Amino acid sequence: HGMGAVVNGMSLSHLRAYGSTFFVFLDYMRPPVRLSSLMELGSVWVFTHDSIGVGEDGPTHQPIEQLAMLRATPGIDTIRPGDANEVAAAWRALMTDGRHPTALVLSRQPMPTLDRSTYASADGVAKGAYVLAGSDDPQVILIASGSEVSLVTKAYEQLKAEGIAARVVSMPSWFRFELQDQAYRESVLPSGVTARLAVEMGGEMGWDRYVGPKGATITMSTFGASAPLAGLQDKYGFTVENVVAKAKALLAK
């Protein structure tokens, strides 16, 4: 709480100040984070250890509901980047906006850096969501943020190998995506494609806006557990095999 108040005070001088802590401890600094939006400050909140990827520390240190809390707060740009390229793009984007605070939500576990000569440029982060890979005429759309982007990318490659036209949408910022015009949003998530699967190691709340009534999610509906990351991914369904199976199930409806 004290750290957050200091960051806001520094931001009042038009310095781009930031503070950083584990994501679960957002609960302890909620008042200054909320006030940064009320006061239209450019405070930057860097949260790490953003999911069950925390692993053996267990459910007391594994954020579940915190993403939904931030996204529900008016005026805060919550960005959950999918790799190092998206982190850099997020910093470039937030530095152009001094009226809204930004929460950068980062992982604890190592994440692969996607080959941008194969996949789309991370510049799309500035628009909140963008087509990372896939068909211009997809049968199914895989949507993810943060560490799950690389997961759904692997699932996409498997679906592609099986002849299924899929699309990967990286959606690091709902806030920014909602600021885009209807034509851009439609180009990313075409309304004619109702088979949509959102994958995120956080609570499900809010994803229905993007997957629609015929879509599905792989999210967290309970608190986590104390175990190595690989075991937790298996337990809660964050595996390539499960993403592929869920995508195929949507197509079979």
What CATH number is associated with residue 158?
A: 3.40.50.920
Averaged pLDDT score across all residues of the chain: 97
For residue 116, name the pLDDT band (cuts at 50, 70, 90): very high
For the chain, report the end-to-end CA distance as a whole number of angstroms. 48
Range 231-238 average pLDDT:
96
102 pairs with which residues across the strands? Answer: 44, 77
**Could you give the angle at the alpha carbon of 150 between the alpha carbons of 191 and 56, nearest 5°?**
120
CA torsion, ordered 246, 152, 222, 229, to nearest 10 deg: 120
CB-side neighbour CA atoms (13 Å) of 108? 19
- Is 29 a residue whose pLDDT tops 90? yes
**Cα 95 from chain centroid (whole Å):** 19
Mean pLDDT score, 133-150: 97
What is the structure's pLDDT at 98? 84
Predicted pLDDT of residue 252: 94
- What is the token pair recorded at 86? 């998206």
User: What is the number of structural domains in the chain?
Assistant: 1
Residue 181, judged by CB atoms within 10 A of its CB (0-12, 13-18, 19+), counts as exposed
> What residues contact 176, with CB distance under 8 A and at least 6 apart?
77, 79, 93, 125, 126, 127, 128, 129
Rounded Cα gap, residues 72 and 180, in angstroms:
18
Query: Are the C-beta atoms of residues 144 and 130 closer than 8 Å to each other?
Result: no
pLDDT score recorded for residue 253 = 82
The rounded percent of the chain whose pLDDT value lies above 90 is: 95
Q: What is the mean pLDDT of residues 161-174?
A: 98
Rounded average pLDDT over 102-129: 96
What is residue 149's DSSP assignment?
A: H
Query: DSSP state, 105?
Result: E
**For residue 17, what are the domain limits?**
2-252
pTM of the model: 0.96
